[in-house]
Chain A
Amino acid sequence: MPERMLQFVHLPQQMPEKRNVLRRRTDFDEIYRQFEPDEAARQASRCSQCGVPFCLIHCPLHNNIPDWLKLTAEGRLEDAYEISSATNNFPEICGRICPQDRLCEGNCVLEKGHGAVTIGAVERFITDTAFERGWVKPIRPHRELALSVGIVGAGPAGLAAAEELRRQGYAVDVYDRYDRVGGLLIYGIPNFKLEKEVVLRRWRLLEESGVRFHLNTTLGKDISLETLRQRHAAVLIATGVYKPRELGGPGVGLEGIVPALDYLIASNRKGLGDPVPAFESGLLNAAGKQVVVIGGGDTAMDCVRTAVRQGATSVKCLYRRDRANMPGSMREVKNAEEEGVEFIWLAAPEAFFGEGSVRAVRAVRMRLGMPDASGRQSVHPEEGGHFMVPADLVIKALGFDPEPLPVLWNEPQLEVTRHGMVKINHRTFMTSLPGVFAAGDIVRGASLVVWAIRDGRDAAAQIHSYIQQSAQLAEAAD
């Protein structure tokens, strides 16, 4: 058989073309073009088809990456889509926004010395093609069950669970306080990484599949958890974490120091054509400003690159560790740098200066200490290493904490951890309230979309078996 795979020996790695940096900094379109079919096939054919596929192991969803790469290389895209969609509800989204360099591609055996297979780009290509060709069909369950499940939160975890449960034949009701479906997918992640149409078509598909969305519905205000518990055979909490971590230091209350999520949501809403007063007022618009973003995660990366596109005069990112130790994706750093963002490594804000509105940040130089038991290096301020960074807009991207659900929802019985995460039995995904489950960031803390999908799927499987068992028990009781 002519060997179709293992072509890495001859073929170099080739990411899908990135749009010219001068052009892309001026709009919010995705920066990667889609693969041409033969290009996708060629790149997929570089896969080594490993006996122990590290890509798959390090994928939170354990996607069968080598299999759909092979099928793509053979031009069997419909088969590839089937395999890819079997383990992932939103492959085209993961293909766009996963930090592949830390997951599948970063662990690809070819990464060292050959250049990893462009897994993410192929993944995206497969499902985009499937949408184009009409292979993606709404769910038509074999049989409709008389039971329903309520899901709180229309983010990736909630949607993945909704799809899985719908597939089993449950009626699924999804409640969300926002006016659109998608959670952070729609409002958190900027367009240049994930065009909104991608999320919207998933929304449409779920509605066509019979999932009922109850938007603009805030739990604890518009409806109580108790009501949901009565209405549904099971309830899944998948609200995510939205409370920004706060900065300390003098001057932190100055105007122009804003939380990342507010900033990103404003920008995304703007992109969707919504009226956004805080943007119009300039409060959440970086145009013409010197912007400083504080933090080193993916949210910080989204902020700096949004600021560039909004027309900031300068964009700087302050992070207290160095490039090698940042949590965000290295690929995103590179993109941001190309787009003109300046990274100030080993620097932490100490104080904010300005009158009424912020004008500058005073930062201190940091140094890295010895790694601790977990392998992470501690940080210490350098003596006398102060410097000033001018800033008209400071965006705090330091991470997120859970909102106090028991309080907000008036459900003191719902147990949470010290940090406010909802406590679950990690095998069953059930919270302290019988029949109430939780998944995603609200359980594990702010994390990746791919982990949210994984949790959503796992929780759905547990909810299914819980309902089945309850039904059997009920039957037995009769």
Chain B
Amino acid sequence: MREESASEFVSNWRRNAQALAETYNPAQEHDACGVGMIVALDGKPRRDVVQAGIDALKAVWHRGAVDADGKTGDGAGIHIEIPQDFFAEVVERGGDKLRSGPIGVGMVFLPKTDLSAQERCRQIVETEILAFGYAIYGWRQVPINVDCIGEKANATRPEIEQIMIWNARGTDEATFERDLYVIRRRIEKQALVAGIPELYLCSLSARSIIYKGMFLAEHLTEFYPDLLDPRFVSRFAIYHQRYSTNTFPTWRLAQPFRMLAHNGEINTLTGNINWMKSHETRLSSPLLDPYLEDIKPVVQTGGSDTAILDNVFELLVRAGRDAPMAKALMIPASIGQDATMPKAHRDMFLYCNAVMEPWDGPAAIVATDGRWVIAGLDRNGLRPMRYTITRHQMLIVGSETGMVKLDEQDIVEKGRVGPGQTIGVDLAKPQFYRDSELKDLLASRYDYGNWIKRVQVIDHIVKTDAQEPVRYEGEALRRRQAALGITLEDLELILHPMVEDANEPVGSMGDDTPVAVLSERYRGLHHYFRQAFSQVTNPPIDSLRETRVMSLKTRLGNLGNILDEDASQCDLLQLESPVLSTAEFDAMRAYMGNSACVVDCTFPVEEGEGGLRAALMRIQREAEEGVRAGCTHVILTDEEMSAERVAIPMILATGAVHTHLVRQSLRTFTSLNVRSAECLDVHYFAVLIGVGATTVNAYLTQEAIADRHRRGLFGQITLKEAVQRYKKAVDKGLLKIMSKMGIAVISSYRGGYNFEVIGLSRALVAEFFPGMPSRISGIGLSGIAKKVLALHRDAWQQDVIRLPVGGFYKLRRHGGEAHGFDAQLIHLLQTAVATDSYSMYRRYADAVRRGPPISLRDLLDFRTEGRQPISIDEVESITEIRKRLVAPGISLGALSPEAHETLSIAMNRIGARSDSGEGGEDPARYQPRPNGDNASSAIKQIASGRFGVTAEYLNNCREIEIKIAQGAKPGEGGQLPGIKVSEMIARLRYAQPGITLISPPPHHDIYSIEDLAQLIYDLKQINPTATVCVKLVARSGIGTIAAGVAKAKADVILISGHSGGTGASPQSSIKYAGLPWEMGLSEAHQVLMLNRLRHRVRLRTDGGIKTGRDVVIAAMLGAEEFGIGTASLIAMGCIMVRQCHSNTCPVGVCTQDEKLRAKFTGTPEKVINLFSFIAEDVRSILASLGVRSLAEVIGRTDLLHQVSRGSEMLDDLDLNPLLVQADPGPYARYCTIEGRNEVPETLDAQMIADAAAFFERGEKMQLQYSIRNTHRAIGTKVSSKIVRRFGMKGLEPGQLTVRLRGSAGQSLGAFAVQGLKLEVIGDANDYVGKGLSGATIVVRLPPSSHLRSQENTIIGNTVLYGATSGYLFAAGQAGERFAVRNSGAIAVVEGCGCNGCEYMTGGTVVILGPVGDNFGAGFTGGMAFVYDPENLFEKRVNPATLLWQRIASPYWERVLRELIERHVAETNSRYAAMLLHDFPLVLPHFWQVVPKEFVRYLPQPLTAPELAAELA
């Protein structure tokens, strides 16, 4: 195959990107990275600072990605101070006279090839500088060496020049700096006017300069030889290595940006941008007022999330905030997080929250304002940040420890930055501030405590004793409900449990109803909105276990000028939650008095369809007039609905008013309070708030609650209590929906349009919900009006009014929704597979085809014109086709063991693959059965819970699937209640029967794309032959995520559709999250081709695939492998009872109940028949198209055409965005890689070579090496070899001992097994002992170190994640999430960060120092001992599942003591030895922590009987 040249790549890329305009949005690009800074603590510019920055960059290459050419990086750069004498020489050499004052330098990217444009750019730059009154020394062409960069990077490279400026106005430094900012903004605007967006200023400053570009980090100085000049000295160096999800080299997006560099992602970006637009109206600052029009828009287009963050950060700084305060405002610590937070800090953050919406999402930032350099984390602390201080007054901060090589003796402090923390250096003083010192400084500047008293917390006002009012009963209520399409199902299945349990109801299996736009029934507007969720590039949050970072606090009223710094900014109303009961709303309304205006959101029936638009215009006008008249609160309500007046869908009304007020620059002057009759489920609330509502009152739902209460359906509780429970369910649901996309704070979610629309007309979306993706268009205003009017007519004109029974969740015939699998199809399919009858299968497949449209593919058909059919005999065989079919991951735990094994046996028999799902697999299945059957799943899944994931499990498969998200509940974790944890499940999951098991929403070792690359790396080490698959759920933007995943060396990407099944999930997640796979798959396929990655990765899809036709369409949309889940369950006897979550499956498919399992009638033969029929079906379609193999149609969307445009009511339904094709250039449209994408070797290659005697003869050996942080996953590949050769328990502990000196890279000892012992003398990064499977890991200080071990961080974040057995001893503190999901390892450390022992289910952990906040959240098994001399533990523990007490039994005292003794023996910890020495004195300061559920499994009681007697 011919490779594409770089220039061809560039031109093809541009053309393809154009073609994919509907599919691919560059704004969805993600990036993440390694980041850090070096600071001179003596405040003197130093060469060694710059040199250390350069060195550090060379040691983070693995956090970036490299193009296939091996040279084009995703971007790297460094931000340092301007070496004035260097530039002075340049000026003088250029023949200019050097004037007094510092030289301002602009680092400018100019268009490279278009010389006239280049010239025009120079003109613009010069003009704006001169126009401001400054003068120019001249331009300097920056020396570069293009040999070291890749062809693609070179093809897109700008012309790089520097402009040198003389402070001709003689202004002071701060003013000069600010003026240069204004000049830069003017230049940027002029460039846009001139149509030369290529013009880009990396920096324009008299203080500092940024060198960046698309080279590999290690080539920084090769590309920019300037940096080698010894005159390049600086007091700080901020450096950054980028990992981007695309492959198109974009030079300007390399970091650092003007002020900051960032590792992570801003999840609230759309909301922040929207609110920033609104804030612009009121921006005012004495420093910037003359230039505000130049500066606006603050957020510049075409930027990445970091660039935008930088834009706003810069604005705050230029308006007078220093960097630490700007960080506190934008990325504040969570007030709820830190139980020990001093009041002054709390007050300050309350003030910050009153000023602006937090920029939320995983973030490690380093930033400078010229005087300060800071490094900080977001509230969740999801990115690593370690620091070291040396004897030579140097501070080294970075994503990893060990990036700069140091002598251990020179280190005086090693630490880490925790969640919400910031450290900083005031270069002017110079002084280093640790987190609490910095916060003290900020908090002392103003009397924030007094300021925030002005925030009117109105909860006590709205929470009156007033009875909940009741306004509608009987017919009046029913007609209103009917007019809004409320069904009995809504009331019984959704509303009732919300009141009864204060929780959202749970359902199971997938959503098989039509996409709303295809339905023939009325579907509320909320059905068209799909919730956004996080996957790969950012993590979701656990809203249940990590409540301390979450907040629904809602500010109402007039939002002020964010650039102010005074008490008036706190003049706000504040509520705990945006969800209000009717009584609460009435009270709030009364409190608002004249400051509120009420806008009626109904229209007269007689106006017909046109009435809707007219009414929306009126509503917008009335709201605007209200605000202009000074109302600080707008109330939208549909209470006026009646026989004569139709209610407008409140989502539409809210969107209309919100956008209108934003466009009129009025939104920040008012709150938007919505009373909606239609609003009932959590999703509706989320949509209302997401499109701009400040508060919501679901008054008619409350009437329904009152009605049921009146009828005694809620037992003894009062109506008020019933309403409060409903409200609680909604609050929890809102937190869950926000957390799904990693948003913790509702003010950043509000108006953020964190949805994707399917099936609303593009025009409507552009008008009322601007910026929300709506790729296939659909129903418009007139269609909505028609539907609403029809419903209204039925509701108000019928004589007796009965609510429809429903049918959206469960199939009903009377007016119910269509369902993909109905009774007839189930029957036909089961008969077909039981009788091996292809003709019966045909009847099934034909019936599927004839059914009403449910999926987008139902609107597509094959384009047969001009195609010559061939004989079916010429088409590839059934056996060939079946190999592409997969039985997707359904866990043992959901499925009965019988069903699970039947699937594996069937798939193995036909040479295809089944997926184990989460939850482990019985090792007995790894041995073939006597009849030759193999019950081992060929694909082993690794999910966020890591249940049952051991080295052995991972070595018994051909593929490892990383389940990032699941179609039925993307962005959510799961919980297996104790009652379902049977003996067998407990054994496979390394837990105890009857104990609740929790899967966290994110993988705690994947918070961003480079983390995923690391996990893939680890997995490819632990199984050197298996391919790795990454399972994603379709959403828009999945294309760029897929590109990132491909760059992370995945071999397969699975795109799951929204219809995917589940064993248990909240109903609103099953119904309203994720997209059809048709959309996700085509996007992924196209964007992978665009990026020239498609031929290096296989695409698989699943979600409701039922027939050969589905398979062929999926192939044409870009898939080469196909998962068939629900249909294979049905083949085994499933009849879609949809009670999987109840453990009562009457046919024994999805249950652990012995009695029910006995009813299982599935056989491998039935499953094989299904897969064979589908393959045969595929063959006949291929034959009819004249095609010989499935591979030939992959990506051939030209063979598809849209045959239906949906109902007449729609404006348009346009599937063309799915059918556009990117030109693949010289590459195939499918994967051409044989085997797998290999990853580089690590130290293990050497270790394996050196340990020949051990592997060949089992001889005991000791090896010794020096290591750096670039040596990752040490011991993992060796473990694979051990487990394959000797088994999990075949060796004595420590039979192979490896001693390592230095800083270990990430994933030290990942999945390492018994027989291996790793001793690190130095420190280690994140993920130590990930999945530990029996090995011993020791991390300790070198004898020469001067550090006090207990005060310093020695291992990183997320240590022992998913460990099942083994030992860890670390003489120092661990980072955040220590021992998360540990289910068996035993460990001793000397302190740990936040969220320690989270989700732990087994093992024993001894922590000889302080723990961070939220300790033990979701901790359900195992034990921890915590040494707490300062008595802080009880403030930091998450008490939900735990018991804790002082040690009260000699048995447990001995256990603890022995572990500490072992720790001392392994690590030589002086601190631990001291504790032992004083043991009787320190023992009373220990806590013993045990989950309540776990107590009964302890071998000895917590309190010894004799002591208990004594106490009694």
- Are B497's CB and A142's CB within 8 A? no
Query: In chain A between 38 and 83, which residues have their CB closer than 8 angstroms to a CB of chain B?
Result: 48-54, 56-58, 62, 64, 66-67, 70, 74, 76, 82-83
- Among A6, A50, A62, contact of B1135 (Cβ-Cβ < 8 Å): A50
Given A51-B1138, A66-B810, does the pair A57, B1146 have CB atoms closer than 8 Å? no
- Among A52, A56, A74, A82, contact of B1136 (Cβ-Cβ < 8 Å): A52
**Residues of chain B with a CB closer than 8 A to A58's CB:** 823
- Are A6's CB and B822's CB within 8 A? no
Query: In the assembled complex, how far is the CB of residue B232 from the closest CB belonging to chain A, in whole angstroms?
Result: 68
Query: In the assembled complex, how far is the CB of residue A157 from the closest CB belonging to chain B, in whole angstroms?
Result: 19
**Residues of chain B with a CB closer than 8 A to A407's CB:** none
Separation of A82 and B822 alpha carbons in the complex (Å): 26
**Residues of chain B with a CB closer than 8 A to A168's CB:** 799
Closest residue of chain A to B499, judged by CB?
A: A1
Separation of A58 and B822 alpha carbons in the complex (Å): 12
Given A52-B1136, A56-B813, does the pair A109, B1147 have CB atoms closer than 8 Å? yes
A222 touches B (CB below 8 Å) = no
Given A52-B821, A67-B488, does the pair A9, B1155 have CB atoms closer than 8 Å? yes
**Residues of chain B with a CB closer than 8 A to A51's CB:** 509, 809-811, 819, 1136-1139
B1297 touches A (CB below 8 Å) = no
- Are A1's CB and B1137's CB within 8 A? no
- Among B713, B809, B826, B1144, contact of A9 (Cβ-Cβ < 8 Å): B1144
**Residues of chain B with a CB closer than 8 A to A419's CB:** none
Separation of A254 and B914 alpha carbons in the complex (Å): 72
- Among B711, B802, B812, contact of A82 (Cβ-Cβ < 8 Å): B802
- Are A52's CB and B812's CB within 8 A? no
- Are B805's CB and A76's CB within 8 A? no
B459 touches A (CB below 8 Å) = no
Separation of A336 and B1159 alpha carbons in the complex (Å): 32
Query: In the assembled complex, how far is the CB of residue B1078 from the closest CB belonging to chain A, in whole angstroms?
Result: 23
**Residues of chain A with a CB closer than 8 A to B799's CB:** 141-143, 167-169
**Residues of chain A with a CB closer than 8 A to B293's CB:** none
**Residues of chain A with a CB closer than 8 A to B1136's CB:** 50-52
Query: In chain A between 107 and 166, which residues have their CB closer than 8 angstroms to a CB of chain B?
Result: 109-110, 112-114, 141-143
Given A52-B819, A52-B823, A70-B492, does the pair A109, B811 have CB atoms closer than 8 Å? no
- Are B488's CB and A87's CB within 8 A? no
B391 touches A (CB below 8 Å) = no
A8 touches B (CB below 8 Å) = yes
**Residues of chain B with a CB closer than 8 A to A169's CB:** 799
B1156 touches A (CB below 8 Å) = yes
**Residues of chain A with a CB closer than 8 A to B1144's CB:** 6, 8-9, 48
Query: In chain B between 1116 and 1152, which residues have their CB closer than 8 angstroms to a CB of chain A?
Result: 1135-1139, 1142, 1144, 1146-1147
- Are B814's CB and A64's CB within 8 A? yes
Query: In chain A between 271 and 318, which residues have their CB closer than 8 angstroms to a CB of chain B?
Result: none
Separation of A295 and B810 alpha carbons in the complex (Å): 41
**Residues of chain B with a CB closer than 8 A to A109's CB:** 1135, 1137, 1146-1147
**Residues of chain A with a CB closer than 8 A to B805's CB:** 64, 67, 83, 86
- Among A9, A48, A141, contact of B1137 (Cβ-Cβ < 8 Å): A48
Closest residue of chain A to B1145, judged by CB?
A: A48
**Residues of chain B with a CB closer than 8 A to A1's CB:** 497, 500-501
Query: In chain B between 797 and 851, which residues have their CB closer than 8 angstroms to a CB of chain A?
Result: 799-800, 802, 805, 809-814, 819, 821-824, 826
Separation of A142 and B713 alpha carbons in the complex (Å): 30
B1153 touches A (CB below 8 Å) = yes
Interface of A is mostly: loop
Q: Please encode chain B, from 482 to 494, with 1 for each CB lying within 8 Å of some chain A CB and 0 for all others.
A: 0000001000100
- Are A6's CB and B497's CB within 8 A? no
**Residues of chain A with a CB closer than 8 A to B819's CB:** 51-52
- Are B800's CB and A9's CB within 8 A? no
Separation of A3 and B501 alpha carbons in the complex (Å): 11
- Are A49's CB and B488's CB within 8 A? no
**Residues of chain A with a CB closer than 8 A to B1138's CB:** 50-52
- Among A52, A57, A64, A167, contact of B800 (Cβ-Cβ < 8 Å): A167
Separation of A444 and B1139 alpha carbons in the complex (Å): 38
Query: In the assembled complex, how far is the CB of residue A443 from the closest CB belonging to chain B, in whole angstroms?
Result: 21
Query: In the assembled complex, how far is the CB of residue B201 from the closest CB belonging to chain A, in whole angstroms?
Result: 60
Separation of A52 and B807 alpha carbons in the complex (Å): 10
Query: In chain B between 489 and 535, which residues have their CB closer than 8 angstroms to a CB of chain A?
Result: 492, 497, 500-501, 509
- Are B810's CB and A50's CB within 8 A? yes
**Residues of chain A with a CB closer than 8 A to B812's CB:** 53, 56, 62, 64
Separation of A17 and B159 alpha carbons in the complex (Å): 94
**Residues of chain A with a CB closer than 8 A to B501's CB:** 1
**Residues of chain A with a CB closer than 8 A to B813's CB:** 56-57, 62
- Are A53's CB and B811's CB within 8 A? yes
Query: In the assembled complex, how far is the CB of residue A390 from the closest CB belonging to chain B, in whole angstroms?
Result: 45
Separation of A76 and B1137 alpha carbons in the complex (Å): 23
Separation of A141 and B799 alpha carbons in the complex (Å): 7
- Among A50, A76, A112, contact of B713 (Cβ-Cβ < 8 Å): A76
Separation of A112 and B812 alpha carbons in the complex (Å): 23
**Residues of chain B with a CB closer than 8 A to A64's CB:** 805, 812, 814
- Are B814's CB and A87's CB within 8 A? yes
Query: In chain B between 711 and 730, which residues have their CB closer than 8 angstroms to a CB of chain A?
Result: 711, 713
- Are B1146's CB and A114's CB within 8 A? yes
Separation of A83 and B814 alpha carbons in the complex (Å): 11
Separation of A283 and B620 alpha carbons in the complex (Å): 86
**Residues of chain B with a CB closer than 8 A to A76's CB:** 711, 713
Closest residue of chain B to A111, judged by CB?
A: B1146
- Are B1139's CB and A9's CB within 8 A? no
- Are B1159's CB and A113's CB within 8 A? yes
**Residues of chain A with a CB closer than 8 A to B800's CB:** 142, 167
**Residues of chain A with a CB closer than 8 A to B1153's CB:** 9
Separation of A64 and B487 alpha carbons in the complex (Å): 13
Separation of A74 and B1138 alpha carbons in the complex (Å): 20
Query: In chain B between 452 and 506, which residues have their CB closer than 8 angstroms to a CB of chain A?
Result: 488, 492, 497, 500-501
- Are B488's CB and A52's CB within 8 A? no
Closest residue of chain A to B512, judged by CB?
A: A51
- Among A3, A113, A114, contact of B1142 (Cβ-Cβ < 8 Å): A3
**Residues of chain A with a CB closer than 8 A to B509's CB:** 51
Query: In chain A between 218 and 261, which residues have their CB closer than 8 angstroms to a CB of chain B?
Result: none
- Are B1146's CB and A113's CB within 8 A? yes
Given A1-B500, A9-B1155, A62-B813, does the pair A54, B1135 have CB atoms closer than 8 Å? yes
Query: In the assembled complex, how far is the CB of residue A159 from the closest CB belonging to chain B, in whole angstroms?
Result: 19
- Are B1146's CB and A8's CB within 8 A? yes
Query: In the assembled complex, how far is the CB of residue A370 from the closest CB belonging to chain B, in whole angstroms?
Result: 16
Separation of A9 and B1138 alpha carbons in the complex (Å): 16
Query: In the assembled complex, how far is the CB of residue A13 from the closest CB belonging to chain B, in whole angstroms?
Result: 13
- Are B821's CB and A6's CB within 8 A? no
Separation of A67 and B500 alpha carbons in the complex (Å): 18
**Residues of chain A with a CB closer than 8 A to B811's CB:** 51-53, 56-57
Query: In the assembled complex, how far is the CB of residue B813 from the closest CB belonging to chain A, in whole angstroms?
Result: 4
- Are A52's CB and B1135's CB within 8 A? yes
Q: Please encode chain A, from 86 to 108, with 1 for each CB lying within 8 Å of some chain B CB and 0 for all others.
A: 11000000000000000000000
Query: In the assembled complex, how far is the CB of residue B1200 from the closest CB belonging to chain A, in whole angstroms?
Result: 30
Give chain A's interface residues, CB within 8 Å of chain B.
1, 3, 6, 8-9, 48-54, 56-58, 62, 64, 66-67, 70, 74, 76, 82-83, 86-87, 109-110, 112-114, 141-143, 167-169
A-B complex: 5 closest residue pairs judged by Cβ atoms: A51-B1138, A142-B799, A62-B813, A57-B823, A52-B1136
5 inter-chain pairs at a CB distance below 8 angstroms, sorted by A residue, are A48-B1146, A51-B1139, A52-B821, A86-B814, A167-B800
Give chain B's interface residues, CB within 8 Å of chain A.
488, 492, 497, 500-501, 509, 711, 713, 799-800, 802, 805, 809-814, 819, 821-824, 826, 1135-1139, 1142, 1144, 1146-1147, 1153, 1155-1156, 1159
What 18 new A-B contacts, CB under 8 Å, besides A48-B1137, A64-B805, A113-B1146?
A1-B497, A6-B1144, A9-B1153, A48-B1139, A49-B1137, A50-B1135, A50-B1138, A51-B810, A51-B819, A51-B1139, A52-B823, A52-B1135, A57-B813, A66-B810, A109-B1135, A141-B799, A168-B799, A169-B799
